[in-house]
Amino acid sequence: MSAAAARRRKQLAKKASLSAEDGGDPVSARLQSLLDSTDKSEENAYEALQLAQSQVRRAVKTGKYDEATKTAYDVSLTLLEKMGRASVASQLLAQLIQVLNETHTACTDEWVAKFGKLDEAYRKAVKADKTLEDEERDRLGRLHLQLLRSAVKWSDTLGTVRYGHQDLHELLGRQCWRMAQIYQEEDEQDAKAAAAHRPNGDDDDQDEDASIPWLRCEAVTHLSLAEKPEVIAEYLKTLPAPTAAETKTGHTCPAAERDALLTRSILVLSAVENLRDGNILLRAYLADIEDRDIPTLQKSYTNKKDGVSPSHAIFCSMILRICEKEMKTGPLYSWLLKSFNSELSGMFKPDVVKAYCTKIGRVYFNIQPPPSMMSTLESMMGGMGGMGGMGGNPMAGIDPAMMQQMMAQMQGGMR
C-alpha cells in the first residue's frame, strides 16, 4: 500500500470515529473539531458559524428547541472566548435571539445569566482585537446594542417581569452609555471624521439611535427600569454643569443635558411606580452633583425676576412628593406640568417626555389622555420608548399658596 493510500485510510478512519462519537453526524463532528482546534483563523470561525447555523435550523425544524438554543449559545460563546471573533459571533447571536422568540423559549434567570456571559465575552473580544478599524469597531458596538435591545424585548414578551428583566435592562443601559462616551471621544478628536459615519443627533431619524443624546437618554431609561439609581447618579456626575445660557429664563437652547437626564430618569421611575428609587436618585443628585443647596433652588424656582429658569431638581422633587399624595392632588400635578412646560419641551425627544407625564397622570391621578393618545401610549410602552403624553387640563397661572405648601413639604421630605 502506498503512503498516500495509507494517509487516506487513516483520515477516513478518524472521520468515522468522530462521526460515531457524535451519533454518526459528520456535521456535528466537523463543528466540534473546529471549536476544539487551536486554529483561531477567520476562515475556521466562518466555517464553524455556517455549520452551527445549519445545526440550529435543523434542530428547530425537528422540534428540538432546547438543542437549537444550546447550540447557538455554546458556539457563540466559544467564538467569542476562544477565537475572539466578535463579527462572526454576532451573526449567530442574532439567530439565537430569533430562535428564542420563534420557539417561545421562556426568559429564565439561567438565560439572563447566559446573556451576561455573552455580553462580557463580546466586549472583551472587541477590545482585544487590535486589528479592527474604527468603523468596524463602531459597527460591532451597534450590533451589540441591537442584540441587547432584542434580548430586552424578548424578556418582556416571554418573561415574568413587566417591561423586561432588570439585569438585561442594566446590560443595555451600560452599553448605551459606553457607546455615547466612545462617540463623544471621537467627536472631540475629529468632529468631521466622526460625523462622516455617525449622526450628531440633528440628522434624519433613521440614525438617531446612534446619536449621543439619544444613547444617553436610552441609557438612563433602561437603568431606571433596571432599578439602578446609583449607577445613573454616577453617570450624571461625569457630565458638565449647566451653563449660564442653559439656566437663563426663557432660554431658547435645549436644557442642560445633566439636568434633562435627571428629569427623564425621575419621570421614568415615577411612571413605573418606583418612587423609592426616584427618591434615592434625587437625594444622590442633590448631595453629590447639584452645586446649589435646596433653599437656594426653592427660592429661585418661585422667583420670576432673578433671571434663572426653573430648577429641574426642584421640579423632580415636587413630582415625587405629589405622587406620594392622594389622588385629589391631580390638579396640582397638572399645574406643575404647565408651569414647567418650557423646560420639558426643550428636552431631547419631547414627545417621549410628554408620554411619561401622561402615564404618571393616569396612574396616580386618573387623568385620562384622549383616545387617540391612549393607543400611542400603549404602543410606546410596548416598545420601551415611552409611556404616555401630558394629558389632563392644566390649570392656568400659579397658585402662590399651593406653591408655598408644596415647597414646605418638599423641604421636609429631602432632609
Instruction: Give pLDDT tens digits for 148-191.
Output: 999 999 999 999 999 999 999 999 999 999 999 999 988 777 65
94 pLDDT higher than 80 = yes
22 pLDDT higher than 60 = no
CA distance 260 to 185: 21
Q: Between vectors from CA 373 to CA 368 and to CA 378, what angle results, nearest 5°? A: 90
In contact, 193 and 186? CB cutoff 8 Å: yes
CA distance 403 to 318: 10
pLDDT band at 394 (very low <50, low <70, confident <90, very high): very low
| pLDDT value for 204 | 41
The lowest-confidence range among 56-65, 115-124, 382-391 is 382-391
Stretch 305-314: mean pLDDT, rounded?
Answer: 86
391 pLDDT higher than 50 = no
Mean confidence (pLDDT) of the chain: 85
Stretch 264-276: mean pLDDT, rounded?
Answer: 97
Greatest alpha-carbon span in the chain: 106
| pLDDT value for 27 | 87
| pLDDT value for 50 | 96
pLDDT of 120-157, one tens digit each?
999 999 999 999 999 999 999 999 999 999 999 999 99
Stretch 275-294: mean pLDDT, rounded?
Answer: 93
The pTM of this model reads 0.82
Q: Which residue has the higher pLDDT, 196 or 111?
A: 111
pLDDT band at 388 (very low <50, low <70, confident <90, very high): very low
- How far CA 271 is from CA of 79, 185, 321, 380, in Å, comes to 40, 33, 14, 13
Q: Which residue has the higher pLDDT, 380 or 325?
A: 325
Stretch 42-48: mean pLDDT, rounded?
Answer: 94
Picking from 383, 353, 378, the residue whose alpha carbon sits closest to that of residue 213 is 353
113 pLDDT higher than 70 = yes
| pLDDT value for 214 | 94
pLDDT band at 354 (very low <50, low <70, confident <90, very high): very high
Percent of the chain exceeding pLDDT 90 equals 65
Q: Which residue has the higher pLDDT, 400 or 39?
A: 39
CA distance 143 to 35: 23
| pLDDT value for 373 | 59
pLDDT of 68-83, one tens digit each?
999 999 999 999 999 9
Q: Which residue has the higher pLDDT, 15 or 102?
A: 102
pLDDT band at 235 (very low <50, low <70, confident <90, very high): very high
| pLDDT value for 307 | 81
Q: Provide the terminal-to-terminal Cα distance of the chain, rounded to the nearest Å.
A: 92
Phi-psi domain of 367 (left: phi exceeds 0; alpha: psi -120 through 50; beta: other): beta
396 pLDDT higher than 50 = no
23 pLDDT higher than 70 = no
CA distance 145 to 139: 10
| pLDDT value for 271 | 96
